[in-house]
Amino acid sequence: MTRKRRSFTPEFKQEAACLVLDQGYSVIEACRALNIGESALRRWVKQLSEERVGVTPKSKALTPEQQRIQELEARCERLEREKSILKKATVSSTGECNILHLSQNWAFTHGNDEGARVLSFTKAKALA
């Protein structure tokens, strides 16, 4: 028979760890009172004590301050990725990247605002 894996909220984890760190419970006493595993509680206690000194955890944070830090870090990473994509798009849309060569003598450029709408029709030699 398989046991279903339980999941706990960050608030519950923080309160369980506070029993050990702040209220003087031993890990075993807190585990029995809360009906949770000893290794899980030890992990939460370690994580909470690290968060209290300012270490941002790799897993989901327990304290509201560290949760906010994780949200802001994720937002910064997303914005950096977007910025990188926009830089690449800007670089690739300048110069001859917007030129479609039809033959040796003629070419036309197109814009990105309405797909492949023709903006100008010029001699390829004039573009060089």
Quick one: which H or E segment has residue 120? strand 118-123
C-alpha to C-alpha distance for 33 and 13, rounded to whole angstroms: 14
What pLDDT is stored for residue 1 in this prediction? 66
Q: Is the pLDDT of residue 125 over 50?
A: no
For 38, the token pair is 């000893």
Q: Which of 103 and 61 is assigned the larger pLDDT?
A: 61
Average pLDDT over residues 3-19: 91
* Model confidence pLDDT, tens digit, residues 103-122: 444 444 544 444 444 444 44
Q: Is the dihedral of CA 74, 79, 80, 84 positive or negative?
A: positive
Q: Which domains does the chain have, with CATH numbers?
A: 10-82 (1.10.10), 95-127 (no CATH)
0.85 exceeded by the pTM? no
Given this model, what pLDDT does residue 92 score?
65
Per DSSP, the residues of 46-107 read HHHHHHHTTPPPSS--SSHHHHHHHHHHHHHHHHHHHHHHHHHHHHHTSGGGGEEE-SSSEE
pLDDT at position 90 is: 77
Strand partners, 99: 109
